[in-house]
Amino acid sequence: MNLYDKRTGESVDSAERAASSATVWADEPSPAARAEPSPSGHPQVRYGRIGVLIVNLGTPDATSYWPMRRYLKEFLSDRRVIETNPVVWWVILNAVVLRKRPYSSGEAYKAIWNAELDESPLRTITRSQADILRQGFQGEPRVLVDWGMRYGNPSIASRLSALQQEGCERILLVPLYPQYSAATTATVCDKAFDALKTMRWQPTLRVAPPYFDFPPYIEALAVSIRQSLATLSFEPEVVIASYHGLPLEYFQKGDPYHCHCAKTTRLLREALGWDEKKLILTFQSRFGRAEWLQPYTDETIERLAKEGVKRVAVVTPGFAADCVETLEEIAMQGAETFHEHGGEDFAALPCLNDSPEGMTFLDAHIRRELQGWI
């Protein structure tokens, strides 16, 4: 199925994406979505539409101190993300973390910032994903596709409200997290339900499940990895599948995230025909002093280099789009660590992003969850 422009075979230009509004129309509104004549004194309403809201983690609006501080405060104040005693954490966050971290995080974002559009790559890619999905739904005039962020802008609440005002009586919420965690998928749901609390006429909400073992997702990853490896000037001795980390305590409390990551990696090995020595599972982006899921990505990269492995590639299956964790932490910091300890060739493979294989999978995921509605 071609999800790009049927006339040109290409996706919408990035400048055109930026100029478009956040709401993405699948087609002209159907008659059912228009405000119809009503009795005198009756408020005008729109109805009959179906919304699809894709949601990723979030992004600061700029790399300077105050936008970074505002973004980090929202993110690190989430009780799903930080489960430390709230009184103790409030003091640490405001007295220590938010005084220093906006500067260091701002520098990391500067290194990967989309200067042309003056925004983070995550925002650029997520908008593009919504654009391409909209093209795929041109034959479904009732469907309206939108995008939002759990932290930062555009917010989940603003986009749910926009969809509801445009006549969406049913909305499919699509967290762009392949593997479920309370710190990611659940907090997206929390924010959506908070928004629904403020609405007099609530749309019916359906939440798409995690897709860590969805065959089209595994196949898309395998195709993307093969294509990326084919462009390299070297053949990796080891490929690292690096996922965002999670405090070990959360896993011990029953979070299934580690199991989901392990299954994705196992299925990916099978799809690629690799063994456990060729594709290894690690976890990145740990924060604070507590023990997190192991093995750690940075320590694994260092260990491999010290053991004499000269050629390594890293793939990040837990990220739907490239972001600061993949473009700066892995592609830049990871490469530096590998080279400093004796490694020679290092490659960070791209996420699925808005690639043809990535969008074919995402379209299939969404259509599966829209069954019974369209």
What φ, ψ does residue 146 adopt, rounded to 5°? Answer: -140, 170
pLDDT digits (tens, 9 = 90+) for 9-42: 344 444 444 434 444 444 444 444 555 566 777 7
**Cβ pair 199, 164 in contact under 8 A:** yes
Q: Does domain 14-60+117-210 have CATH number 3.40.50.1860?
A: no
Domains 14-60+117-210 and 215-348 share a fold: yes
> Residues for the chain: how many in total?
374
329 contact partners, CB below 8 Å, separation of at least 6:
108, 284, 285
Percent of the chain whose pLDDT exceeds 70: 90
Q: What is the pLDDT of residue 37?
A: 64
Mean pLDDT of the chain: 92
The answer to which of 22-26, 61-65, 314-318, 361-365 has the lowest mean pLDDT is 22-26
Domain spans of the chain, in order of start: 14-60+117-210, 65-112, 215-348
The alpha carbons of the chain give a radius of gyration, in whole angstroms, of 21
β-strand partners of 54:
147, 174
How much is the pLDDT for 44?
A: 79
Q: Is the Cβ–Cβ distance between 253 and 182 less than 8 Å?
A: no
Statement: residue 46 has pLDDT above 90: no
- Topology (CATH level 3) of domain 215-348: Rossmann fold (3.40.50)
Rounded to whole angstroms, how far apart are CA atoms 175 and 262? 20
Mean pLDDT of 342-365: 98
- b/e 282-313 (16+ beta carbons within 10 angstroms → b): bbbbbeeeeebbeebbbebbbebbeeebbbbb
Residue 119, token pair as written in the block: 């925004």
- CA distances to 32, 91, 167 from 246, in Å: 45, 22, 39
Q: Tens digits of per-residue pLDDT, 61-73?
A: 999 999 999 999 9
